[in-house]
Structures are given as C-alpha cells and as structure tokens.
Amino acid sequence: MDEQAPTSSAVAIATLERQLKVAQQITRIGSWEWTLAPNAVTCSDELYRIYGLPIGEPITFEVVLERVHPDDRLRVTQLLQDALARGGPFALGQRIVRPDGSIRELESMGEVTVDDGGKVTGLICTCRDVTEERIRERQLARSQRLETGERRALEMLAAGVALREILDTIAHTIEELDPGSIVSIVIVDPTGTRIRSFAGPSLPAAFARAIDGTQIGPTVGSCGTAIYRRERVIVTDIENDPLWADFRELARPHGLRACWSSPLVGSDGRLLGSFAVYYREPRGPDESSLDLVARASHIAGIAIERRQLDDRLRALTDRVEAIREDERTQIAREVHDELGQSLTALKMDIAWVMRRLAQHHVNGVLADKLTQMAKSTDAIIATVRRISAELRPGILDDLGLAAAIEWQLEEFAKRTGVRAELQSTLGDPVLERDLTTAVFRIFQEALTNVARHAIATIVHVRLELERGRVKLEVEDDGVGIPEAAHTTSLGLIGMRERARRLGGECEVRRRDPHGTLVTVTVPLRFPAERRTDADLPIGA
C-alpha cells in the first residue's frame, strides 16, 4: 500500500496538470512565476504560445519585459515596481511584441509572493490573450460610429443641406475612424471627361486646386484612373507607382505617399466621381479599411446622385415656372392690349351713338339701353384689367418690386377689408426678373393664406435690404398657422421652394401670443447688363 500511494498521487497530479494545460489553452490564459532569487521565470506552455516563444526556452524577467510593447513598457515596469513595493494583488493590461513582429493584447492579474517572514520572493501572474476580443470590440465600435456618421449624412441629405457639407461630414467620419487618413472626394464634370475637386476638408488646398480639372484617363493618378477603369485603384507608394508619374511632383510637397481610390457610380451606371483616401506614408489596405472605404463611398455616391437629381428637377421646375410666367405675361398683355382696346373702342362707339341720339333728342328705351351697355362695358373693362393684373401686374415690370407689393397690398385691403400697413426701404433698384417674380408670388401666396385662414384684422408688411439680401416680412394678428400646415400645405411648400431656388429662405412661424409671421430673404440679383463686382451680395 505504501508503495502504491505515491504512484496514485503522481497520477492525480499529472492529471491535474494536463487538465490545467488544456484549460489554459482553451481559455487562452497562460501563467508565469518570477522568483527574485535566482531571477528565474517559470512559464506555462500556453504562455510560451501566447508570447510566440519555443516551449521550454529559459526565460528571465528581463526577457518578459523586453517583449512588452515599447509604448507600454515604462508603464508596465512602474506598475510592477509599485506592486513589489506595496505587496498584494495587481492587475494590468499591456501589449506584447512577438518575435515575428505581431502584436498581441493581454490582460494580466497577479500577486506578489512572500515567504513566511513576509519578505517578498517574487511575482505570480496569469495572462489572458484578449487580442481577438479587442479587435471585435474595436470593429463593433467602429461600425457603430460609422453607422452614426452614415445616418447623420442621410439626415442632412433629407434636410436639404448643401452637398459639400454632407460630403465633408462623411470625410470627417472616415478620418476619425482611420487616424492618419486624408479623404478626398472628386466629381465628374458635366462633360464627363474631367474631375473637379469637390470635398476633402483635410486635403491640402493647394493640391486640391492643382488636380482640379484634370482629364480622366488610364494613367491619371488614383482618382482619374479609378473613374476611367470603373474599378478600385490601390496605390501603396506614390513615389514609385507609374500611375502617378505625371502627378508625383504635385503630391510630394504635401507629403502624400499612398492613395486608394474607388469610383462612384450612380444607380443608372453613370460615373459620378471617386472617393479617395490618402496617407503620408506608403501603405496598403487591410480588409477592414477596404470595408470602411466601400461603405463611405456608397453613402457619398447616394448623396451626389440625389443632389444631381434634385438639381435637374429644380432646373426643370425653374424652366416650367419661367415658361408659365412668360405665358402669363403674354396672356396678360393680349388681354390688356387687344381685348382692352377693343372694349375701349366699343365704349367709344356707344358714346358716339348716345351723343347722336341726344342731338336728335331721342330718349326712351333706346337711350336707356345704350346707357346700360356703357356701364356694362366699363365693368368688363375693369374685369379685364383685374384679370390682366392678376396674371402678371404690369407695375411689377414697369416700376419694380416695391411698387408692385404696395399695389397688391392695397388691392388686398380693398377686397378683404383687412387693414394693411407697409414699411419699405427697398427703394427702386433694378433687380433680376426671376427675383422680383419669386418674391412677389410668395407675397401673393402669403396674402392669400391670410385671407383664407387667418381671420386677421391687420397685416403688417416690411420690405427692406439687409446685408446684401432682399427681406420681406408679412405679419398678421390672426389665429396663427397650425403646426401640421408646415408639412401638408402645398402653398407653404411652394413658397419655400421659390425662395430656395434663388438661394434664399422662406420661414413661416406662429407669433406669440397669436398670428403668423412669414419671413423671406433672398440674395440680391441684378440683371446681367447692370451687374458689377460691387453689386455682389455680401459673402458671395
């Protein structure tokens, strides 16, 4: 029995050691113990694997520290020294560099060992390899930040924010997620043959100007080539890549050494531009970087295509509106001139007949009938003038915006009985026809809304110049605009769209405690033949 007992204990110990090794391998946890005297480190097999060292190779405490990442070494050394000084348990996180150059991230927990007399004898520590966990955590955090940036860009797109601001937002997002990157977005010009620098808040301005207008071709850097080939172009070293032979001198002063570019293609197959990422050192992309650029390129392409569609739709709307105004003007003139003149001639003929009858002392039914015809003719002439003015008031073209608004406000007060007041400091500058038409039509719509919905007793109108912009305010004391009308009223939508097409704004809001205020501001625009540099609006 005595001889078998040690054998059973040895088997049990061997079994426990084997189980510990398997457990450490499964959990990626290694252990080591440092004995101060004689400066010996004992490591588990799993720790050797974590450090990338041959199992069983003699290790000293200095070897352990040498494997700590240079950026973490001072911190780790100080922490271990503090632990030895105070005793007890400790915890730390650090990176190590394996012999093959790969980097692993570890979480370590340990305790200072002491002898029976309380004297420090060394350290015992467990190390868990958390590299994959940290990679997944960073990828998740990166994905979440990217999704936030994508959502922000799409919200800006829906809100009508300027395209350059949207693309700059996308660029900033990528640069934050990929430190050291410099994002550039170029678009294809209307001819489809050249690139135009468009967005890239961190790209050197001089370089952006230098490549602006470059012809698209098979060896035109990264962007021009990517658009030409309709495929991603990865240039890991600008100094030595033949695609950059003609552009290397442009990039060198700014320290640009690598550039990866992806073409932006619309849903209909049209080339929109390219999304590029520059670096100041030669480097190639990993899978994560390519995925990041692909997602950003997708959102950038959506934004560019949507804005181009908006621009085409706006141009079409402007054209339709211009044709409509021309037709109104033509009809108004024909009604006023031809029909009005014919009616005036008819009135003169009636007056002539009446005079002849009076000379012959003819009275009675015939004279009464002619009098009624004269009155009817006057009423028809007044109606013709009213219809002509509503189609296109001649005063708008002849005397300008301020006079047309004053006339329209007087007509509104006569028709509705609502008291109207006008304050105008605009004067009589000769403004572009599109501007005067748009502001006047917005004004007409604002008065129509007051007449239909406001139940107002007074309307205040202010027309002025403010920092290079025409500003119109229409304020009433009625019941106030309901909140739902902001999104459902076609009239309000049309007012805002008219102002936006001129680069201006139209704001409609409730007044406190009641009433509605319409504020329209549009940049000054003068006819081409009168335009000078001094006439440009502030900020142009």
> According to DSSP H, which parts of 417-529 are helical?
433-449, 485-488, 490-501
pLDDT at 18 over 50: yes
Cβ neighbours of residue 346 under 8 Å, at least 6 residues apart? 377
Beta strands 469-476 and 233-235 are: unpaired
Confidence of residue 426 (pLDDT cuts 50, 70, 90): confident
Q: How confident is the model at residue 16 (pLDDT cuts 50, 70, 90)?
A: low
Q: Residue 478's pLDDT band (boundaries 50, 70, 90)? A: very high
Residue 12's pLDDT is: 58
Cα–Cα distance measured from residue 198 to residue 202, given in angstroms and rounded to the nearest whole number = 12
Query: How does residue 11 score in pLDDT terms, banded at 50, 70 and 90?
Result: low
pLDDT of amino acid 487: 65
Determine the distance from the C-alpha atom of residue 328 to the mean position of all C-alpha atoms in its chain, rounded to a whole number.
Answer: 38
In the numeric block, the tokens 């005297």 are attached to 37
pLDDT value of residue 537: 39
Comparison of pLDDT for 309 and 10, the residue scoring more: 309
Q: How far apart are CA 71 and CA 376, in angstroms?
A: 98
Cα gap 108→125, rounded to integer Å: 7
pLDDT band at 534 (very low <50, low <70, confident <90, very high): very low
Give the model's pLDDT for residue 346.
84
CA distances (Å), 339 to each of 134, 151, 201, 397, 443, in order? Answer: 84, 59, 61, 20, 28
β-strand partners of 461: 422, 474
What whole-number distance in Å separates Cα of residue 205 and Cα of residue 202? 8
How far apart are the C-alpha atoms of 80 and 406, rounded to whole Å?
A: 85
Q: What is the overall mean pLDDT for the chain? A: 85
pLDDT(539) > 60: no
Decide if 517 contacts 475 (C-beta within 8 A). Answer: yes
pLDDT per position as a tens digit, 40-64: 888 888 888 889 888 888 888 888 8
- In this prediction, residue 15 carries a pLDDT of 58
pLDDT at residue 169 tops 60: yes
Mean pLDDT of 475-500: 82
Q: Is the distance from CB of 8 to CB of 25 less than 8 angstroms?
A: no
Quick: pLDDT tens for 186-213. 999 988 899 999 999 999 999 999 999 9
Q: What's the rounded Cα separation, in Å, for the pair 20 and 26?
A: 10
The answer to whether residue 184 scores a pLDDT higher than 90 is: yes
Domains of the chain, CATH where assigned: 21-129 (3.30.450.20), 137-307 (3.30.450.40), 396-540 (3.30.565.10)
Residue 88 buriedness (CB in 10 A; 0-12 / 13-18 / 19+): exposed
For the stretch 92-150, pLDDT in tens is 999 999 999 999 999 999 999 988 888 888 889 889 999 988 888 888 888 888 888 88
pLDDT at 339: 77
Amino acid at 284: G
What's the pLDDT tens digit per position in 435-444?
Answer: 888 898 899 8
Confidence of residue 230 (pLDDT cuts 50, 70, 90): very high
Answer yes or no: is pLDDT of 314 > 70. yes
For position 1, what pLDDT does the model report? 44
488, pLDDT greater than 90: no
